[in-house]
Structure 1
Amino acid sequence: MDWQQILTNVAGEIIAPTTAAYALAAIGLNVHFGMTGLLNFGQAGFMLLGAYGYAIASIAGWPVWAAVLVALACAVVFALILGIPTLKLRGDYLAIVTIAAAEIIRMIGRSTSMTEVTGGNAGLAGDGFKGSFQELSPLPDGNFAIGPWSYSMNLSNSWWVRIVGWALVALACFLVWRWMNSPWGRVLKGIREDEDAVRSLGKNVYAYKMQALVLGGAIGAIAGIVYALPRAVQPDSMGRPMTFYVWTILLLGGAATVFGPVLGSILLWTTLMLVKTVLRDVIPATVLRSEQIEMLGWVLVGVTLMLLVIFRPQGILGDRKELAIDVR
């Protein structure tokens, strides 16, 4: 077993664009759930809309900044359409509505009637929308190595995507930190704990919830762009499992914390890479096929997360008193 190569692959997940994209999505979900208490199970819908909005605008020849604005506009419109009739719902009812709304977005994206716009079930190939983003790179062409990690400077899975992705994560963390320590953020925390008490103080709870839904959804749309840049926009890749991964990341790192989503994303993907790589070396192909090892890796990670929820439900960085978690 080549432990040096295994650890190199695992460490590579720390700076991977996918890790950054999931961290961004979890930060957006943290605004919904960690700050406001909204049980949004449709974060993948915001990500898919962001990816589609950016890709379609880029394919049409729009510059990167305009394509990003289109992605954000799609997320804002979706948040308004979703939030206006549903934000008066609480708990499980809101969760059911949001997961259904995300599935509607996915089904529309893969519909054959939308093939000319969204590419249907096949999605949109990355070659059609990556060019304008790559042209913004100030980095020279070719490959560049830092220690054992060697990536292209400007192509799909590149240093340029990593730099932009993690810069966006840092910016999102800074914004959430400022929001959490602002009067606006304290109102959101009050809504999370007891919205009736906040309403009795004369605050418009509905408006605050809508603001949180829009902001968290916009961050989710940016996450969708980062997720799509190294690959393609494929609707089935941003379905229900993606939302559950984002929730896992948030709960693993700790909701209502600034760096919890980042830590959760890094831990999830590095642990999964470590488990799957070791299992492939230890278990012969005659016993388990590659796809079975993939599923077994998720099972082992899932069991670990179950133990974490049982013994530390607030997550690694979370505060049990902050969320008033009761595990009885």
Structure 2
Amino acid sequence: MDFWIGLLESIAQTALSPVTAAFAVAAIGLNIHFGFTGLMNMGQAGFMLIGGYGFVIATMSGLGFLPAIIISVLASALFAVLLGIPTLKLRGDYLAIVTIGAAEIVRMVARLANLTPITGGPSGIQSPNFREEFNALAPLSEGRTTFLGMTYTNVGVDDWWSRIVAWGLVALFLLITWLLMRSPWGRVLRGIREDEDAMRSLGKNTFSYKMQALIIGGVMGGFGGILMSLPAAINPDGMGRPTTFNLWMIMLLGGAATILGPLLGAILFFVVRLVITSVAGEFVPASILNSQQTEQLAWVLIGVMLMLLVIFRPQGILGDKKELSFNV
């Protein structure tokens, strides 16, 4: 009984984690790219790296918190423009190959030893300094607070303030996405997703609309990178190819082209992984599976579930199958 109670507490903590929120934010941006526009962006982790490093480097250079946020947004938008100008005329697999290559270029540049004074090289940047101004903005008092059985410090590293801001951003971006997709602009995006040639014949500048979608979704990915860096560290390998894979699974699990799909997918992704590792660690003897093997088993089972999901319910949990019947 104690195990199951502890598991439920861990599930609640995981569901409310800032990391879960960071992936939800980045997945919302990816959903604008693929779900609503039909762009096969396999490089959302690159936007996270650009946004996270833009924020951290600006803060470490002595700029304030808000100027660092602005620089991060501008850096993510600039990366979207530079990536989009030569690639948005590509479709399907070709766009996927280019975007994943671009994300890898960003990661390898951040790893360069010559840029260690700026990016920290392969080790990244580890410092509490870029979090100090963030903590200073907290309206919460010092101390610890218990809510729904979870106890954290009000302001610190693993704190309530980070959770409030992270999930506030998730709510804000969900609202923005909902408003955009109900607007004429959002209807044009859906038209581009379903038949770009038809939209072009109606006089719509499809390249411009796709660029706008790439910028908006990329900026959201940049905010995901900021949230990932707030615990006082950012590392180029922490947002590499596996991150992009995880974001795609989150989006497909919850349902592409839905508003709440990325939110549900992010929570389920981390909760399912926690349940698998916890149950296997508790009931499978260490002689059969040690902790490292249990972690690997969790990823294997998640991969199998993704394959089953794509085969039997490609629209995801909340999705509509008609929303995925478009050419990419």
Match of 1:217 in 2: 218
State the shift of 1:305 in Å.
Answer: 2.2
Q: Secondary structure of 1:41's partner?
A: coil
Structure-2 separation of matches of 1:244 and 1:136: 34
Structure-2 separation of matches of 1:126 and 1:294: 28
Match of 1:234 in 2: 235
Residue deviations 1:160-219 (CA, integer Å, cap 9, x gap):
010000000001000100111100001000000010000000111111111000000000
Structure-1 separation of matches of 2:65 and 2:231: 16
Structure-2 separation of matches of 1:137 and 1:129: 14
Match of 1:159 in 2: 160
Match of 2:273 in 1: 272
Matched, 1:288 2:283: no
The 8 Å contact of residues 126 and 233 in structure 1, kept in 2 or not, is answered as no
TM alignment of 1:1-328, pairs within 5 A: 2-324=3-325
State the shift of 1:280 in Å.
Answer: 0.9
The 8 Å contact of residues 194 and 326 in structure 2, kept in 1 or not, is answered as no
State the shift of 1:128 in Å.
Answer: 2.8
Structure-2 separation of matches of 1:147 and 1:251: 30
The 8 Å contact of residues 17 and 230 in structure 1, kept in 2 or not, is answered as no
The 8 Å contact of residues 87 and 95 in structure 2, kept in 1 or not, is answered as yes
Residue deviations 1:201-251 (CA, integer Å, cap 9, x gap):
011111111100000000000111011112510000100000010000000
State the shift of 1:283 in Å.
Answer: 1.9
Count residues with an aligned counterpart: 326
Structure-1 separation of matches of 2:43 and 2:29: 11
State the shift of 1:145 in Å.
Answer: 1.4
Structure-1 separation of matches of 2:143 and 2:54: 29
Letter of the 1:253 partner, please give it.
G
* Unpaired stretches in structure 1, ≥5 consecutive residues: none
* Unpaired stretches in structure 2, ≥5 consecutive residues: none
Residue deviations 1:77-98 (CA, integer Å, cap 9, x gap):
1111100011111100000000
Q: Secondary structure of 2:219's partner?
A: helix
Q: State the identity %.
A: 54
Query: Cα RMSD between the aligned structures?
Result: 1.2
Letter of the 2:288 partner, please give it.
V
Structure-2 separation of matches of 1:70 and 1:101: 20
Query: Which deviates more from structure 2 when the two are superposed, residues 285-294 or residues 22-31?
Result: 285-294
Residue deviations 1:283-313 (CA, integer Å, cap 9, x gap):
2223222111111011112212222221111
The 8 Å contact of residues 129 and 232 in structure 2, kept in 1 or not, is answered as no
Query: Which deviates more from structure 2 when the two are superposed, residues 313-322 or residues 143-152?
Result: 143-152
The 8 Å contact of residues 7 and 274 in structure 1, kept in 2 or not, is answered as no
State the shift of 1:152 in Å.
Answer: 1.6
Structure-2 separation of matches of 1:275 and 1:231: 29
State the shift of 1:325 in Å.
Answer: 6.7
Structure-1 separation of matches of 2:232 and 2:6: 24
State the shift of 1:6 in Å.
Answer: 1.1
User: Normalising by the residue count of structure 2, what TM-score does the alignment of the two structures yield?
Assistant: 0.97
Q: Secondary structure of 1:144's partner?
A: strand
The 8 Å contact of residues 36 and 191 in structure 1, kept in 2 or not, is answered as yes
The 8 Å contact of residues 110 and 120 in structure 1, kept in 2 or not, is answered as yes
State the shift of 1:137 in Å.
Answer: 0.5
The 8 Å contact of residues 314 and 325 in structure 1, kept in 2 or not, is answered as no
Query: Which deviates more from structure 2 when the two are superposed, residues 230-239 or residues 140-149?
Result: 140-149
Q: Secondary structure of 1:30's partner?
A: helix
Structure-2 separation of matches of 1:322 and 1:86: 24
Structure-2 separation of matches of 1:88 and 1:324: 20
Q: Secondary structure of 1:2's partner?
A: helix
Letter of the 1:162 partner, please give it.
R
Structure-2 separation of matches of 1:169 and 1:148: 23
Letter of the 2:168 partner, please give it.
A
